[in-house]
Amino acid sequence: MDIDAYLNRIGMERPAVADGAALRELHRAHQIAVPFENLSIHLGEPISLAEGDLFSKIVRSRRGGFCYELNGAFALVLEALGYRVTRVAVRVFGGQRFGPPFDHLALLVSTSDGSGPWLVDVGFGSHSTYPLSLSTRDDQDDPAGRFTLVDAPTLPEAPDGDLDVLKDGAPQYRIERRARSLDEFAPTCWYQQTSPDSHFTKGTICTRIDDRGRITIADRTLIRTEGGTRTEQPLTTDEELLAAYRDHFGIVLDRVPSRPAAAARAVPAQP
């Protein structure tokens, strides 16, 4: 991986030291430059977690990705810069219960200045703008909301204790603090991009933060969230949709993403 090319992609220079201040800048810059998106699934592009493929997609093709890709690549960049990174499995809260293990990938990062350790996540779609401290259970105010880390009940299969992340009081996900390798996420990554039961196969999403707030294309709707105000604009033609991907995300496509055949087959025929 060409680290300088990756840093150029996110508009950052190589930090002099791998400290907490630089980590904050890297975390925000990545989310501004590299969108969370699942367009590959709807373009029929296989998703690979190989290091070279992650670099090629994000840097050479100037695309984004979903959690396994974004946090997978960011972990490699941070390690090359001198940070100590632990990849951890996460169970996403689905409204009533936590999902299965490996539902999401997050990073626990230690720095050269002894600050942190930090929860780093540039691949959740809508999460904290800056890293979250793992050392406090107090509320942490962030441009994206108020985040709180809570120790989950200790279980026999998790003797070190899981960690729940709340945003504005609502549970987001549960972290298993055991170190994992990126290869261990490959089966769930394959499931997320192929199963008709995966929410990633049911619609397209492309989102990033900017200086004004957050901008998103969900299916054929352009959404701008700024200062707590949300505005929506329908993108009624293919030309409008492709232009919006290009103008707002720098993603140049030669065709409109369409629903995967597997997901389409799962939908009952309408009378």
The pLDDT value recorded for residue 13 is 97
Tokens of 155: 């279980």
The pLDDT value recorded for residue 114 is 86
The pLDDT value recorded for residue 84 is 96
- 84, exposed or middle or buried, with CB in 10 Å at 0-12, 13-18, 19+? middle
Domains of the chain, with CATH numbers?
A: 185-265 (3.30.2140.10)
pTM of the predicted model as reported, rounded to 2 decimal places? 0.92
The pLDDT value recorded for residue 260 is 57
d(CA 144, CA 214): 9
> Closest Cα to residue 226, out of 143, 105, 146, 135?
143
According to DSSP, residue 216 is labeled: E
Which residues of the chain, if any, have pLDDT below 70? Answer: 154-160, 259-271
The pLDDT value recorded for residue 11 is 97
